[in-house]
A = this chain, B = another copy of it.
Amino acid sequence: MNKVRIGMIGYKFMGKAHSHAYRDLPFYFNLDTEPVLQTIVGRNELEVKLASEKLGWHSYDTNWRRLLERDDIDVIDIGTPNHTHAEIAIAAAEAGKHILCEKPLAMNAEEALKMWKAVRKAGVVHMISHNYRFVPAIQYIKKLITEGVLGEIYHFRAQYLQDWIMDPQFPLVWRLRKEISGSGTLGDLMSHSIDLARFLVGEFKEVTGMMNTFIKQRPLGEMAGGLSAQLSGEQLGKVDVDDAVAALVRFENGALGVFEASRFAKGNRNGNRIEINGSKGSIRWDMESMNTLQLYSEDDPAGMQGFRMIHCTEDVHPYTANYWPAGHIIGYEHTFINLMAEFMRGISTNTSPSPNFEDGYRNQLILDAIDKSSASGEWIKIHN
């Protein structure tokens, strides 16, 4: 068993999700590599120390650069705010570390391209954490499409709807500040839908987009992301990212895409949904009931046609045999476990499983195009 020693930067939501996945991976999967929770990094020493204990890391540090110099760190896992991804990833690549980076890969395609070039040059293994690709149902949809069950793809529609910032008193957290996050729902949510679309349908040809910020000012009180804000909570700051975004898409293969993401869709806590229509069948899927896939197949006999609710918990479904018997569901955290399994396999074979930095770059090209199109009102071609 090869030990793969992780150095993880960031300890909030994604830090928890990644830590758990590293811990749980050996229990469920039989791999020849095993992650070791070596060092967790955060700028606030008290907080990172507590996180280190809680999440099960061997040690902690307050400076990520120190990890790059250590021989006992094989992987840099980047879970920090978006504006730091490029700097860390490029430095990590130059230090010969394998890299797992949270999404979106970068602040823009230019940065993303630099990152991709850096990892290629360094020959390290790299992945981007589009975890939804690793839902068993999604992998099974990929299989169905590859086998031709849906036929030629005509339509891909995706909605990623949340509602956690609808209260106007919700503060100006880092995800609402362009200089830190790059964009709002576009990079945070729609990047996931784009990843699923690229995985399941193929490359984008052109896009036109629309963005909106419904609440344009928010309390500065809890300036997140570790920033030292001198500003008091009473003051308001400008929200300069999108609260919602929508896009029309033409795929290279002729399919039409309709994408929408919003943090202002009341009652949708994490409504990440897709529907694909092909010449022979259709699928529907919703992350809120992630184990269930709806499949319509025209191969069914006349009269017996309909969307079937496939509980993707059978051993024949991707990843499922590692978990529980049929009918026993898995949850959100297992998407990360499956992703980590692929990452470990990649390290073991020195390949970078998709989605990797190339995918992150191509995704970012589309994000940039939607952003630009939303400003100009014009369709933008994607130069793949």
Q: Give me the interface of A with B, judged by CB distance under 8 Å.
A: 13, 17, 19-20, 23-24, 26-27, 30, 54-56, 140, 144, 149-151, 154-155, 157, 159, 161-164, 166, 208-210, 212, 214, 244, 246-248, 250, 254, 256, 258, 260, 262, 264-271, 275, 277-282, 287-293, 295-298, 300, 302-311, 313-314, 316-317, 323-334, 377-379
Contacts and interface: CB of A to CB of B under 8 A. Distances in A.
Contact of A305 (B310, B324, B329): B310
A95 to B, nearest CB: 29
Contacts of A278: 266
Contacts of A298: 266-267
A267 B377 contact: no
A260 B157 contact: yes
Residue in A19, A162, A267, A275 with the greatest tally of chain B CB atoms within 10 Å: A267
A262 B295 CA distance: 18
A16 B363 CA distance: 39
Nearest to A373: B208
A50 B305 CA distance: 33
A74 to B, nearest CB: 22
Contacts of A282: 265-268
Given A27-B56, A280-B266, A306-B311, A214 B154 contact: yes
Contacts of A289: 289, 292, 329
A254 B214 CA distance: 8
15 contacts: A24-B24, A149-B304, A154-B262, A164-B325, A166-B279, A258-B258, A265-B275, A269-B311, A269-B328, A303-B310, A305-B310, A306-B308, A306-B309, A307-B309, A331-B334
A304 B309 contact: no
Contacts of A310: 303-306
A159 B324 CA distance: 21
